[in-house]
Structure 1
Amino acid sequence: METYLEKLLSQIRCKKARPYIAEEIRDHIESQIADNLSEGMTSEEAEKNAVTDMGDPVEVGISLDRIHKPKIAWKLLVIVGILSLLGILIQQSILRQPGFQELETWRQEVYRYTTEGFVSCIVIGFLLMCVIYFLDYTLIAKYSRFIGVFILILGGLRLTSFFGVDINGVGSWVGFGMFRVSITSLMMFYVPIYGAILYKYRDGGFMALCKALLWLILPVFITFRIPSLGVAVIMMISMLMELTVAIWKGWFQLPVKKTIIGLGLFLAGLPVLLLAAMYAFHMLAVYQEARIRSYLTSSGDAYYMTSMLHKFNENISFWGNSGNNVLEGLPEFNKDYVFSYILNSYGKLAGIVVIVLLAALVVFMFGTSVRQKNELGMVMGFGCGMIILLNISLNLAGIFGLVPLTTTFLPFLSVGRNNILLCYALVGIILSIYRYKDVYPKKFKASQVSLQKTITLNLNM
């Protein structure tokens, strides 16, 4: 049997698939041996006939190689490529707008700088995506707790003002010499890491669920205290969805429906009650209270941007420039309000094209996760999709005045180095998940790791 397995596995080019194929074939042969023994064969005859029934090892190996080879998500790459190119064209078009030369000199310089930086971020982001793609998401999952703790430590340093950096009045950065990283972007990257952490608590009971909740609460609290209420909400919803999926898949040794209902009842009203209590007792940042108060009363300085967006949305034509002076009326129109810039500069048709592309991106990310047979890849991919979906949804809802404005972005279209890199990193994880969708089994077993080492050693001898 071992000789048969060695010949078969030598036809499998993907080394990562070999231990899982070996285990599957071994189980099948051993099952057939048991049946042969029950029919009165000797041990030697039973094994020989079982191996013979499997067929020629070379032909079987070639057939399995075609099934279990890594895949490339070409559709996702095309969508990301189109969005990246579109983002570059949109940012470059700002410098050619008629009203651009009428802006203050310092604002012109800022937009030139961010536009030039946008292109370099796209290039670096693409390289980062490739690195994560070839790195394999299971390696990220292996060190998920270490990565999670590292992110939490950086967030804690920001809260305690150690290594904290304020950029343009925004204090959500941590810097070490020339190196600076946005804590909010890093915290959003924590979401797929949380999915991998959840996987480590698989087959646990109530205490495992409590630990999973602790890994959820800590980053949300840190992000909220930075303060970044919008990102905290995005993270909380995303991780709660990951946790719900994990419970639904039976990762915890608890009654599935009762646990989901109990968790839902406990957490459904908790964010609203917590936010209301913090608002009532003035525990929020001043600008956060002002935004909430202005949105509820439709008045005040914090409502100014919402009213301006309503004004710009009124005269949008189906095609072409609306005539509204977006460059002068909206601050950072190439970042948080880039969709309003697109609508006013190119019309509703351009906005529809952008929404369709973003929708295709989200659908493919979730589709890859749902169709992934490996549960680790499924949950990590689900977390990536939630981050992209919620940022798009809250950004567009804020543009149209449906929710209070908060710090969000449109993937691959809004400027912001760390958010751009975040998008490519999330797509890199999805690409890696898709790559091994026919390689990894539903669940990983510790024995399969040692088996892979043994098989690799035997084949190299």
Structure 2
Amino acid sequence: METYLEKLLSQIRCKKARPYIAEEIRDHIECQIADNLSEGMTSEEAEKNAVTDMGDPVEVGISLDRIHKPKIAWKLLVIVGILSLLGILIQQSILRQPGYQELETWRQEVYRYTTEGFVSAVAIGFLLMCVIYFLDYTVIAKYSRFIGGAILILGGLRVAGFGGLDVDGIGNWIGFGRLRVAVTSLMMFYVPIYGAILYKYRDGGVSALCRAILWLILPVFITSRIPSLGVAVIMMVSMLIELTVAVWKGWFQLPVKKTIIGMWLLFTAGPVLVLTAMYALHMLEAYQEARIRSYLSHSGDANYMMAMLHKFNENILLWGNSGKDVVGGLPEFNQDYIFSYILNSYGLLAGIFVAAILAALVVFLFGASVRQKNELGMVMGFGCGMIILLNISLNFAGMLGWIPLTSTFLPFLSFGRNNILLCYALVGIILSIYRYKDVYPKKFKASQVSLKKTITLNLNMK
């Protein structure tokens, strides 16, 4: 049997697939040996006949090699390439807008700097995406609790006032000197890591679920204290979706429907009650209370920004420049409000094209996750997809005035070095998941991320 396996596995080029294929073939041969023994064969005859029934090891190995070879998500790479090119062109176009020459000199320098920074961020992001792709998502999952713990520690240190820089009362940056990272981007990267942490608690009961919920609550609390309530909501919803999928897939030995209903009640009604209490007891930051009052009274800065966006979104041409001074009149038009800039600079058709490309990105991200055989990859993929989807959705909704404005971005299009790197990192994880979709089995053992469990062979073994 071992000689047969050795010849068969020598045909498999993907080394990561060999342990799983070997175990499945060995299990199949052993089952056949047991059947042969029950029919009265000797041990030697039973093993010889079982191996013979498997077929020629070279032919079987070649067939398995075709099935279990790594895949490349070319469609996703094309979509990301288009968005990357669009982002560079859109940011570069700012320097050629009529309103740009009328800005103060210092503002012109700022936009020139951000434009150059966007190109460098795209280049670095592409390299980061490749590193994560070749690293293999199971390696990230193996050290998920260590990575997640490190992110929580950095976020906690920033909330405590260490190693960071406050901008307008918001402690969004952590680091020293020029080595700084946006805490909100770092915390959003925690979401797919959370999916891997969940996997380590599979087959557990109430205790395991409570620990999984604790891993969810801590980053949301830290992010809300940065403070960034918008990102905290994005994280909470994204991780709650991951946890729901995990429960639905039977990762926890608990009643599925009751557990899911209880979780959603806890994380929907609970935060509303807590936020209301904090507002009533004046436990929020001063600017947060002012923003809530502004929303409730339809006045103040928040209402002013919504009114301004409505003004810029009116009378958009089907194609071409609307003639409105977006560059001089709309703050952060190259970041939070980049879609309004696109509509006013190039027209409605350009906006529809951009929205269609972003929609294709989201569809592929979730499609790759849903069709993923391995459950670890599926949940991590859902986490990546949720971060992209919620940022796009909330950005569009805020820009159109449907919801109060919050801190979001359009993936690959909005300026923001750390958010750009985040997008490429998330895509890198999805590419890695897709690469091994026909390599890894459905389940891994809890003790190790890459393990030997069952793998279904899509060929006739006899």
Name the TM tier (shorter chain). Answer: over 0.9
Q: How far is 1:318 from its partner?
A: 1.1
Secondary structure class of the residue paired with 1:306: helix
Cα distance in 2, alignment partners of residues 393 and 262 from structure 1 = 26
Count of aligned pairs: 452
CA displacement, residues 311-346 of structure 1 (integer Å, 9 cap, x when unaligned): 111121111111111111111100000000001111
Give the aligned partner of residue 27 of structure 1.
27
Q: CA RMSD in A?
A: 1.5
Q: How far is 1:386 from its partner?
A: 0.2
Q: How far is 1:230 from its partner?
A: 0.4
Q: TM-score, normalised by structure 1?
A: 0.96
Question: 2:365, 2:385 within 8 Å by CA — same for their partners in 1?
Answer: yes
Cα distance in 1, alignment partners of residues 150 and 391 from structure 2 = 24
* Residue 272 (1) aligns with residue 269 (2): no
Which amino acid in the other structure matches residue 76 of structure 1? L
Which amino acid in the other structure matches residue 118 of structure 2? F
Question: 1:290, 1:302 within 8 Å by CA — same for their partners in 2?
Answer: no
Give the aligned partner of residue 457 of structure 1.
none
Q: 1:35 to 1:403 in 2, by over 3 A?
A: same
CA displacement, residues 411-442 of structure 1 (integer Å, 9 cap, x when unaligned): 00000000000000000000000000000001
CA displacement, residues 193-214 of structure 1 (integer Å, 9 cap, x when unaligned): 0000000000011000000010
Q: Return 5+ residue gaps in structure 2 as ranges.
A: 454-462
Q: How far is 1:296 from its partner?
A: 2.6
Q: 1:449 to 1:335 in 2, by over 3 A?
A: closer
Q: 1:102 to 1:282 in 2, by over 3 A?
A: same
Cα distance in 2, alignment partners of residues 447 and 79 from structure 1 = 34
Q: How far is 1:274 from its partner?
A: 1.9
Give the aligned partner of residue 114 of structure 2.
114
Q: How far is 1:450 from its partner?
A: 8.2
CA displacement, residues 277-317 of structure 1 (integer Å, 9 cap, x when unaligned): 22222222222222222223221123211110011111211
Q: TM-score, normalised by structure 2?
A: 0.96
Cα distance in 1, alignment partners of residues 120 and 26 from structure 2 = 50
Q: 1:416 to 1:449 in 2, by over 3 A?
A: closer
Question: 2:142, 2:448 within 8 Å by CA — same for their partners in 1?
Answer: no
Question: 2:91, 2:334 within 8 Å by CA — same for their partners in 1?
Answer: yes
* Residue 419 (1) aligns with residue 424 (2): no
Q: 1:449 to 1:232 in 2, by over 3 A?
A: closer
Cα distance in 2, alignment partners of residues 284 and 357 from structure 1 = 38
Q: Which moved more, 1:157-166 or 1:389-398?
A: 157-166
Q: How far is 1:267 from its partner?
A: 2.3
* Residue 311 (1) aligns with residue 311 (2): yes
Give the aligned partner of residue 460 of structure 2.
none
Question: 1:242, 1:383 within 8 Å by CA — same for their partners in 2?
Answer: yes
TM alignment of 1:2-81, pairs within 5 A: 2-81=2-81
CA displacement, residues 234-290 of structure 1 (integer Å, 9 cap, x when unaligned): 000000000000000000011111211222222231122222222222222222222
Secondary structure class of the residue paired with 2:171: strand
Cα distance in 2, alignment partners of residues 241 and 89 from structure 1 = 35
Give the aligned partner of residue 345 of structure 1.
345
Give the aligned partner of residue 252 of structure 2.
252
Q: How far is 1:451 from its partner?
A: 7.5
Question: 1:235, 1:387 within 8 Å by CA — same for their partners in 2?
Answer: yes
Cα distance in 2, alignment partners of residues 382 and 448 from structure 1 = 18
TM alignment of 1:260-299, pairs within 5 A: 260-299=260-299
Q: How far is 1:181 from its partner?
A: 0.6
Q: Return 5+ residue gaps in structure 1 as ranges.
A: 453-461
Give the aligned partner of residue 138 of structure 1.
138
Q: How far is 1:169 from its partner?
A: 6.4
Secondary structure class of the residue paired with 1:441: coil
Cα distance in 1, alignment partners of residues 344 and 297 from structure 2 = 27
Give the aligned partner of residue 104 of structure 1.
104
Give the aligned partner of residue 94 of structure 1.
94
Q: Which moved more, 1:168-177 or 1:431-440?
A: 168-177
Q: How far is 1:448 from its partner?
A: 9.4
Cα distance in 2, alignment partners of residues 396 and 58 from structure 1 = 55
CA displacement, residues 11-53 of structure 1 (integer Å, 9 cap, x when unaligned): 1010000000001111111111111111111111111001001
Q: How far is 1:147 from its partner?
A: 0.3
| Aligned sequence identity (%) | 83
Question: 1:291, 1:303 within 8 Å by CA — same for their partners in 2?
Answer: no
Q: How far is 1:167 from its partner?
A: 5.0
Cα distance in 2, alignment partners of residues 450 and 3 from structure 1 = 23
Q: How far is 1:90 from its partner?
A: 0.2
